Amino acid sequence: MDEISKSDQEWRQILTPEEFGVCRKKETEAPFTGKYTYSKEDGIYRCTCCGNELFSSDTKFDSGTGWPSFFEPLKENSVKYETDTAYGMTRTEVMCAKCGSHLGHVFDDGPKPTFARYCINSISLKLEKTTDGKTNQT
């Protein structure tokens, strides 16, 4: 996978201030406010910044945490991980493998079969809806 590298100035030109804050500066959207938190639409969730395919709606579940949650990425090489020690705790940060965009965090309290809970910011995602075998990005 070819990685994308842009300066903050370049990202600011193509992202909204909210998208830039979450995706490039590792901010977090408020819980229960994201447009995909309760979405049950079928499709592929892509990276807001670069369009990389990240998660399938088939792996989405309601974790009750206030953020969209998935039990596995679409492909293992779609995301990459780093240890996050901010806020006095140790967590595993999830980022887009193609552009390094901050997506959220992964925890080990999810459902079967993986027991993983990928807790992802809606603003980091764009849903490419599938209806009748066709896709439509929103």
Indicate which residues carry an active-site annotation. 119
CA distance 83 to 53: 22
Residues comprising the chain, all counted: 138
At residue 58, the 3 state secondary structure works out as helix
Give the strand pairing for 125-131 and 60-61.
unpaired
CA distance 12 to 111: 37
CA-wise closest residue to 82 among 97, 67, 60, 66 = 97
CA distance between the termini of the chain? 24
